[in-house]
Amino acid sequence: MKAPIFALVDCDNFFVSCERIFRPDLTDHPVVVLSSNDGCAVSRSNEAKKLGIPMGAPAFKYQELFKQHQVAKFSANFELYGNISRRITELLTTVTPRIEIYSVDESFLDLSELPIADYAVWGHSVRAAILQWTGVPVSIGIASSKTLAKLASNRAKKLPELGGVLNLINNPDTDMYLESVAVQDIWGIGRQLAPKLRAEGIDNALKLSKMYPKLAKQLTGIRGRQTVTELDGISCFPITLGSQRPKTILRSRTFGEDTNSSHIVESALASFATTAAFRLRRSGQLAKQIGIFVDTNRFKPGFRRWTKNMSYRTPIADTGQLINDAVSMFGEIYNTGVAYHRAGVWLQDFVPDDQLQIDIFGNTNIHEHDTSQKRMQAIDSLNERYGKHTVHYATQDLARQWQPKRKLCSPRYTTDLNELPKAKIVHTTNK
């Protein structure tokens, strides 16, 4: 077996880059993409970063700066980003089928078995192909472990002279690159572990790579020890091929406005249960547990959260049943005096939908289960064919007022025929 070699392909400022595909006028211009309710900056162009807008910056605190520098703002348009993301991973799949889609904007590739003479040259050609075919700039890191590949792509992003690609395989400058990465910027080292390590005098990746594994385990737990080993060039985290089935599914939103209306909250919960159940069915699973939560505003004094959950003897994926249970659980905790700010539905404790166990007390109603499965299949295929909300449950319609605000949303350029980009034909005449 050959020594493992990984590439991490990481899109630059992904959401901003997606918006720029259709707005070339915004190249070199500061751009931010805002979260739900246009609340926080969740993606920033390099120009916006230079203005000092941090990740997660609350938009209302930066309005002045936005105005002063004419920062272009967009509400997050996940249909667009999801579509661009799929185009990129399809392209990468033609490079090698041994790919792990790590997130919407990052994929690991296993290069061990590929006949590549020069990894840096290979990286630059992949980068150029993605830019040409999708318009999205990426950074590529190549190394013998995932953690080092992450670190390499981070350097490739930050150091312009690298042209977006850094290979650390047999690279004599590896120690220099490790030394230039602060301990809190290492994959797997977060807000809690970084100060602990700094207190031990370990403030960069090179020092961490030389830490005694025993001490690392003691100080940072098993994952921290593995991170140390990975930085030392020995792979601990293998590539995960194929699509993984989720272990929990959560759907939640902050409301457009706080509300104390039970109808509005019920309508929101019904929508969350619907999308969660659809995701559950698409993953080929049934759930044994459903839970709900409702929150007040966490930034206001007296913040509170209420939760409720229930288990099913026979696991289900039936939207109607899940809506019913979500709404009735809310009925048990509803309080007319509360300003509800946010709510959510989660599903967990899954089993594959082809392995329904008959419980020993004879409580499993196979007939009801089969009827439900067929009903759901019919609804899903109608909605796939004729559009998302063709068939839905009435509870969702009781009130739509809970929906978050998205005042600055770009068109769904690539996924809705009515919102295609318009081309302007310019006639030129030769004299």
**Binding stretches for DNA (CB under 7 A):** 35-37, 39-40, 42, 56, 58-60, 102-106, 150, 186-194, 221-223, 244, 246-254, 258, 279, 297, 299, 341-342, 344, 404
Nearer to DNA, 254 or 414 (CB): 254
Q: Least distance to DNA from the beta carbon of 221, Å?
A: 3
Q: Least distance to DNA from the beta carbon of 268, Å?
A: 10
Nearer to DNA, 87 or 223 (CB): 223
Q: Least distance to DNA from the beta carbon of 336, Å?
A: 19
Q: Least distance to DNA from the beta carbon of 170, Å?
A: 25
Nearer to DNA, 45 or 252 (CB): 252
Nearer to DNA, 50 or 247 (CB): 247
At 372, list the tokens.
């439900």
Q: Least distance to DNA from the beta carbon of 147, Å?
A: 10
Nearer to DNA, 191 or 367 (CB): 191
Nearer to DNA, 224 or 369 (CB): 224
Nearer to DNA, 124 or 308 (CB): 308
Secondary structure of the chain in HEC code, one letter for each residue:
CCCCCEEEEEECCHHHHHHHHCCHHHCCCCEEEECHHHCEEEEECHHHHHCCCCCCCEHHHCHHHHHHCCCEEEECCHHHHHHHHHHHHHHHHHHCCCEEEEECCEEEEECCCCCCCCHHHHHHHHHHHHHHHHCCCEEEEEECCHHHHHHHHHHHHHCHHHCCEEECCCCCCHHHHHHCCEHHHCCCCCCCHHHHHHHCCCCEHHHHHCCCHHHHHHHHHHHHHHHHHHHCCCCCCCCCCCCCCCCEEEEEEEEEEEECCHHHHHHHHHHHHHHHHHHHHHCCEEEEEEEEEEECCCCCCCCCEEEEEEEEEEEECCHHHHHHHHHHHHHHHCCCCCCEEEEEEEEEEEEECCCCCCCCCCCCCHHHHHHHHHHHHHHHHHHHHHCCCCCCCHHHHCCCCCCCCCCCECCCCCCCHHHCCCCCCCCCCCC
Nearer to DNA, 116 or 200 (CB): 200
Q: Least distance to DNA from the beta carbon of 419, Å?
A: 22
Q: Least distance to DNA from the beta carbon of 191, Å?
A: 4
Nearer to DNA, 110 or 295 (CB): 295
Q: Least distance to DNA from the beta carbon of 418, Å?
A: 25
| The amino acid at 138 | V
- CA dist 284 and 289 (Å) reads 16
Q: How many CB atoms are closer than 10 A to CB 73?
A: 19
